[in-house]
């Protein structure tokens, strides 16, 4: 694994993992930890020390994984089950059993208050879970092959991106409140919750306001596979394979 300083481009660490091949990796929100999955083994790394903190045990291939906003929990979707670990102790906090053959979770997202977990399931529904009890709270049905789920920073809305558009659900009433017909396989909220960025593996990134009204769009020379805002919301990062672009949402590529 290689770790780079974004500001300087300098290589910080180069950690060799014996014979393991990294299949999946994600950072904790404060960049203190990194979770990896390789050859059926999951682990959490302490990035301040550049060393492994916990080995989480053997698992099947993760289809999605994510940290909670407070960094205290890590969730991985493996086959039909979702496992939630305590990142401090490395112990399993919850195991949410799915139904074989139909509950394969392709995307996971914790709410900003770390109390809820959303899981997207092919082809067209999203489940909302209570993190503490592991119980299902609600099922959101969509009308298209869904790819991404993301909570608004104020915990009020759940945005679901799929090939037929974006749907916005109110988490107080569990009602559909806004939607867009533009394909949006990948979506991301700005930290202040006022802007939602979307793309559908194309060269165009579109920006939307709270009412799902179109604001602006950015165009790149290559298709986009992932988008994310910087922590201060001033930059938008897009990537495809080995290429990374950094944007000022109100201007051009930097």
Does the domain made of 1-141 have the CATH classification 1.10.730.10? no
Q: What is the pLDDT of residues 84-136, one digit of tens each?
A: 999 989 899 998 887 655 667 888 999 999 999 999 887 778 999 999 998 99
Do domains 1-141 and 145-254 share one topology? The answer is yes
User: Could you state, in order of their start, the residue ranges of all structural domains in the chain?
Assistant: 1-141, 145-254
Q: Which residues of the chain have pLDDT under 70?
A: 16-21, 23, 39-40, 57-61, 79, 99-103, 143-146, 181, 183-185, 201-202, 219-225, 240-242, 250-254
Q: Which of 250, 253, 237, 239 is closest to 207 using CA atoms? A: 250
122 is written with which tokens?
């092919």
Contact status, residue 78 vs residue 88, Cβ threshold 8 Å? no
Q: Please state whether the peptide bond connecting residue 2 to the residue before it is cis, i.e. omega within 30 degrees of 0.
A: no
Q: DSSP for 69-108?
A: TTSSEEEEEETTEEEEEETTT--EEEEE---TTT--EEEE
Class of domain 145-254: mainly beta
CA distance 186 to 206: 11
């Amino acid at each position: 694994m290689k770790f780079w300083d974004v500001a300087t481009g300098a290589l910080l660490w180069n950690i060799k993992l014996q014979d393991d091949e990294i299949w999946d990796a994600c950072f904790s929100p404060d960049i203190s930890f990194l979770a990896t999955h390789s050859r059926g083994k999951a682990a959490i790394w302490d990035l301040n020390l550049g060393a492994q903190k916990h080995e989480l045990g053997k698992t099947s291939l993760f289809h999605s994984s994510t940290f909670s906003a407070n960094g205290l929990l890590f969730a991985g979707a493996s086959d039909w089950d979702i496992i939630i670990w305590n990142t401090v102790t490395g112990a399993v906090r919850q195991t949410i059993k799915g139904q074989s053959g139909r509950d394969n979770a392709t995307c996971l997202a914790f709410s900003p208050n770390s109390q809820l977990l959303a899981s997207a399931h092919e082809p067209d529904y999203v489940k909302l879970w209570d993190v503490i009890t592991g119980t299902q709270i609600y099922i959101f049905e969509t009308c298209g092959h869904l790819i991404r789920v993301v909570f608004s920073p104020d915990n009020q809305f759940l945005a679901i991106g799929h090939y037929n558009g974006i749907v916005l659900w109110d988490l107080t009433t569990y009602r559909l409140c806004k939607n867009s017909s533009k394909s949006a396989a990948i979506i991301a909220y700005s930290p202040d919750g006022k802007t939602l960025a979307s793309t559908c593996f194309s060269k165009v990134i579109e920006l939307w306001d709270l009412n799902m009204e179109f604001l602006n769009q950015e165009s790149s020379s290559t298709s986009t596979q992932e988008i994310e805002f910087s922590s201060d919301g001033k930059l938008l990062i897009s990537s495809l394979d080995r290429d990374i672009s950094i944007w000022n949402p109100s201007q051009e590529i930097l």
